[in-house]
Amino acid sequence: MLKCTSACAGCSDSLALRYVLKAAGPDTVMVVPACCTSVIQGIYPNTAFNVPVYNIAFGAAAACASGMSNAFRAAGKKTNVIVYAGDGGTLDIGIQAMSGAFERGTDFLYICYDNEAYGNTGMQRSGGTPMGAKTTTTPTGKTDAKKDIDMIIAAHDPPYMATACAAYPQDIFKKVQKALTFRGPTFIHILAPCPPGWRYPTEKSVEMGKLAVKSGMWVLYEREYGKVTIGPQSKAAMKKPLPLEEYLSPQGRFKGIDPKIVEILKQKIAKNYQRLAAEEEASA
Amino acid sequence: MKKIVTGNKAVAEAVKQAVPGVVAAYPITPQTEIVEQIAEFVSGGLMPTRYIAVESEHSAMAACIGASITGVRTFTATSSHGLLYMHEMTNWAAGARLPIVMANVNRSLGPGWNIWAEHTDALQERDTGWLQVYVSTVQEAYDTILMAFRIAEHNDVLLPVMVNLDGFLLSHIMQPVDTVELGDFIPKIRLPHAIDPKHPAGYGTLTGPDQQFKFRWDIERSMRDSVKVIEETGKDFAKRFGRKYGFTEDYLCDDAEVIVIALGTLGKEAEVAVDILRKEGIKAGSMRLRWLRPFPKLNLKGKQVVVIDRDYSFGRGGILATEIMAQTKEDLYSVIAGIGGQEVTYDDIAGFVRTRRMGEEFWFGVNAHV
């Protein structure tokens, strides 16, 4: 990452990007659909990335990367092909192309950085928006649950997939390095807190990411050839999870949230963790 | 070598000889035989090509874009709804200056489900920055695919080329084809802006109102430069392989008083109609338009013009007729015929000329003059 980035103040995605690019190294091409990263990379004729970045239409990143990866491999090149897409470009408009690319065994790393809404268009709800969160298209709070894209990816049985969070950069670094050692499609889902979208002060992005993990709203885990390993940060947190309210209350998007929805979210946290723990035990 | 094959198989044969690095495609009637044949060539080891069986046409074009920007030769084929589904990405391919070659088997649009020949699919792609050519015989389909790669990849063009052939009327018709020993007719592809991690660059980054128009003008400049490249390629093709192709195929136009203009197989059928009319003493000629983009300069001075459109732009008229009207002040009779595979014979075409009413539009079958 170079200095001419045009990210918002306090953007946790630019933090994540720095570590993704560091881990991937120079022999890398990034494929970026419409998302915050289209903005973060800077304005023509500048680019803030020190690797080639191919920008492509919203729903087309995985398909574009699949053509690119095939062409590189046919030419005997090992160049890393990394899709770097937001939650809208992954969970919503890009899901078909992504599913196709995973099913075809494309040799690439797909990273979804998830700020839980359409960020660069001004925070409209996406499939990644959690229940209860206010966005510009759910002004009274979202009534539907967050889509579990990790389960959908897991159903494609990729050799490696992981969740990560922008507040844990070393963890991102390790997971990207690891993902790039596999042949075939790999996936990393990074939670990326967003100050203007989630409505918290710009200096609190790292804190917000940590609260997400400590409350169990976000669980760090890996799935390698089907074997689930829950990260030590999440294991430690889930021994005695932080009350969910401590994660929700600093964020303007959850202001005035219905206590009934908070209860549903708590139940979902418990159920999700139980499922992952059971999977970890079963696959040990 | 002479072979008797369908239009689709002739396209696949030409693609095999051009040896693309990547083919990404999705099946749709009546294009399927092209991609089936290519998949068979690839799996049989006859083509050293990566065949990506994508999950949609949008992804077919996106995968071609991703492959092409690495600098490899790239091909896809589609039809009708498939072409419309990739519309966002056809714009992207041209904007990104990628010399992708695509065969489009012209087919009607739904509803209702109609799989027969019509040109509205390709004509809705008119403004995307793709070069467009329409062929009328199986031989021409084969020859034009070969020329399309050379034209698209030429350094003065670097734009994608769409080769159109009529669904069933050409895609599934068997005719003799004389295949060629290609030699160095299509030079090795060299994409000046190919992605190279040693030279990082941003492709398609945020572009302001002070810059975007420059990129658009650059497309138009290359579109204009492509005229010369198309001519040169046609000449070299004729020199090497003995078959001549221009922007139009003119038949008895010089002394003609009335000229029939159409695209694809209708344009070929018009030549037979001209022979019939000449026997009756009507001085007719036919001008089959091969290239629609770039649109050639047509010499129609002093002629009456009958344009047959197998397409329509609602609220305006036949698309080809409208294009020609923009270029000539001559009287024009616009016939809408062949929509959704409607049968149009050379006798019908001769009839259009005999009963022409200049300045009017005629819907064949509906028998409505407007």
Asked if the Cβ–Cβ distance from B62 to A96 is below 8 Å, we say no
Helix (H) or strand (E) run with residue B286 in it: strand B284-289
Place B353 in a pLDDT band, splitting at 50, 70 and 90: very high
Please report the residues numbered 239 through 258 in chain B whose beta carbons come closer than 8 angstroms to any beta carbon of chain A: none
**pLDDT score for B180:** 98
Asked if the Cβ–Cβ distance from A38 to B200 is below 8 Å, we say no
- A/B interface, count of CB pairs below 8 Å: 157
Residues A81-114: tens digit of each pLDDT: 999 999 999 999 999 999 999 999 999 999 999 9
Place B310 in a pLDDT band, splitting at 50, 70 and 90: very high
Least CB–CB distance from B67: residue in A38, A68, A103: A68
d(CA B153, CA B133): 16
Least CB–CB distance from A68: residue in B58, B69, B206: B69
B262-277: average pLDDT: 98
Return the residue in A56, A83, A108, A110 with the most chain B beta carbons within 10 A, the one to mutate for interface testing.
A56
Task: Using alpha carbons only, give the angle A164, A165, A170 rounded to the nearest 5 degrees.
Answer: 80
Tell me whether B212 touches chain A (CB under 8 Å). Answer: no
Tell me whether B181 touches chain A (CB under 8 Å). Answer: no
Average pLDDT taken over every residue of chain A = 97
B125-134: average pLDDT: 98
In 10 A of CB B278, how many CB atoms?
14
Long-range contacts of B362-369 (CB under 8 A, 24+ apart): B362/B333, B362/B334, B362/B335, B362/B336, B363/B336, B364/B335, B364/B336, B364/B337, B364/B338, B365/B337
**pLDDT score for A211:** 98
Lateral strand order in the sheet of B368-369: B248-251, B284-289, B258-263, B304-309, B332-336, B361-363, B368-369
Residues A257-273: tens digit of each pLDDT: 999 999 999 999 999 99
**Is the pLDDT reported for residue B370 higher than 80?**
no
**Is the pLDDT reported for residue B346 higher than 90?**
yes
Residues B154-168: tens digit of each pLDDT: 999 999 999 999 999
- Which residues of chain A are within 8 Å of residue B62 when distances are taken between CB atoms? 56-57, 60, 63-64, 67, 97
Coil/strand/helix, residue B63: helix
Least CB–CB distance from B66: residue in A65, A79, A96: A65
d(CA A121, CA A117): 9
Beta strands in chain A (DSSP E): 28-33, 53-56, 80-85, 109-114, 160-165, 186-191, 221-224, 227-230
**pLDDT score for B304:** 96
- Which residues of chain B are within 8 Å of residue A50 when distances are taken between CB atoms? 200
More reliable by pLDDT, A45 or A276? A276
Q: Which of A8-17, A273-282, B270-279, B324-333 has the lowest mean pLDDT?
A: B324-333
Asked if the Cβ–Cβ distance from B66 to A26 is below 8 Å, we say no
**Is the pLDDT reported for residue B369 higher than 90?**
no
Place A3 in a pLDDT band, splitting at 50, 70 and 90: confident
Closest by Cα among B146, B349, B161, B324 to B265: B349
**Is the pLDDT reported for residue A243 higher than 90?**
yes
Closest by Cα among B308, B49, B211, B63 to A56: B63
- DSSP symbols for B140-158: HHHHHHHHHHHHHHSTTT-
Average pLDDT taken over every residue of chain B = 97
B267-286: average pLDDT: 98
- Percent of chain B, pLDDT > 90? 97
Asked if the Cβ–Cβ distance from B202 to A72 is below 8 Å, we say no
Asked if the Cβ–Cβ distance from B202 to A103 is below 8 Å, we say no
CA-based nearest distance B60→chain A, Å:
7
Coil/strand/helix, residue A226: coil
The type of residue at B50 is: R
Place B367 in a pLDDT band, splitting at 50, 70 and 90: confident
Q: Say how many residues make up chain B.
A: 370
Residues B44-73: tens digit of each pLDDT: 999 999 999 999 999 999 999 999 999 999
Which value does ipTM take for this structure?
A: 0.96
Residues A183-227: tens digit of each pLDDT: 999 999 999 999 999 999 999 999 999 999 999 999 999 999 999
**pLDDT score for A5:** 85
Asked if the Cβ–Cβ distance from A54 to B204 is below 8 Å, we say yes
Q: Tokens 């080891």 — which residue?
A: B45
More reliable by pLDDT, B26 or B327? B26
Q: How many helices (H) and strands (E) does chain B have?
A: 11, 17
Tell me whether B72 touches chain A (CB under 8 Å). Answer: yes
CA-based nearest distance A253→chain B, Å:
29
Asked if the Cβ–Cβ distance from B72 to A52 is below 8 Å, we say no
B102-121: average pLDDT: 98
* SS3 labels along A132-165: CCCCCCCCCCCCCCCCCHHHHHHCCCCCEEEEEE
**Is the pLDDT reported for residue B298 higher than 80?**
yes
**pLDDT score for A63:** 98
Least CB–CB distance from A43: residue in B21, B53, B205: B205
Residues B220-260: tens digit of each pLDDT: 999 999 999 999 999 999 999 999 999 999 999 999 999 99
Residues A148-195: tens digit of each pLDDT: 999 999 999 999 999 999 999 999 999 999 999 999 999 999 999 999
Asked if the Cβ–Cβ distance from A60 to B92 is below 8 Å, we say yes
CA-based nearest distance B73→chain A, Å:
10
CA-based nearest distance A61→chain B, Å:
8
**pLDDT score for A121:** 94
